[in-house]
Amino acid sequence: MSTLETLQDILVRDYGLPRDRLSADATLDTLGMDSLSLLELMFKIEDGFHVKIPGDPPTGLRTVQDVVVYIDGLIIGHRSADTAAGTAAGGAKADEVKM
């Protein structure tokens, strides 16, 4: 399932928005998403996509596509962090074996 489809599922399920209004270019304002709704959405994104939002929530999100791009960036960052952690852990084990 794509990031857009998963986000649409969240918006339909948790916000009662009709799927036919959730195109990539739909603006969050026209969907009735205010700053509090967007903050709540960030928590749902963390849960639904198994990512961690670093620091303050983003402020430049205007469209559904903006949110998709943001989520994809979080996913890529999360995968990179997991890879780096795995490499570091693997490196430590290799050093232990040498001793």
Which domain does 20 fall in, by range? Answer: 3-98
- List the beta strands (DSSP E) in 1-99: none
Looking at the structure of the chain, the number of domains it has is 1
| Residue 88, CA distances (Å) to 50, 67, 76, 94, 97 in order | 22, 31, 18, 10, 14
Contact (CB, 8 A) for 75 and 49: yes
* Interval 20-60: pLDDT, tens: 999 999 999 999 999 899 999 999 999 999 999 988 878 89
* Interval 58-79: pLDDT, tens: 889 999 999 999 999 999 987 7
**CATH code, domain carrying 14:** 1.10.1200.10
Q: Cβ contacts of residue 4 below 8 Å, gap of 6+?
A: 24, 64, 65, 68
Contact (CB, 8 A) for 8 and 19: yes
**Full-model pTM:** 0.79
